[in-house]
Amino acid sequence: MRRIQRETTHEEFIKSLTTGDAAIFKEIWRVLLFAAALGVKVGNRRPLGTTDSGKAIQETYFSTPGWRGFLYLIGIAETGDSECLRSSEANEEALVSAFEEYANNGLYILSERMKLSTSPFDELVSLLMEVSQPNISKPDVDFLI
Domain residue limits at 34: 8-132
Residue 86 falls within a domain, yes or no?
A: yes
Instruction: List, for residues 22-57, the tens digit of each pLDDT value.
Output: 788 899 999 999 999 999 988 899 999 999 988 999
CA-based end-to-end distance of the chain: 58
Residue 24 falls within a domain, yes or no?
A: yes
Mean pLDDT of the chain: 85
Residue 142 falls within a domain, yes or no?
A: no
Q: Mean per-residue pLDDT for 7-28?
A: 90
CB atoms within 10 A of CB 106: 25
Q: What is the pTM of this model?
A: 0.84
What is the domain count for the chain? 1
Give the pLDDT confidence score for residue 39 in this predicted structure.
92
Residue 70 falls within a domain, yes or no?
A: yes
Give the pLDDT confidence score for residue 138 in this predicted structure.
44
Residue 3 falls within a domain, yes or no?
A: no
Give the pLDDT confidence score for residue 139 in this predicted structure.
41
Helices (H), 2-135: 11-18, 28-42, 67-79, 89-115, 120-132
Residue 22 falls within a domain, yes or no?
A: yes
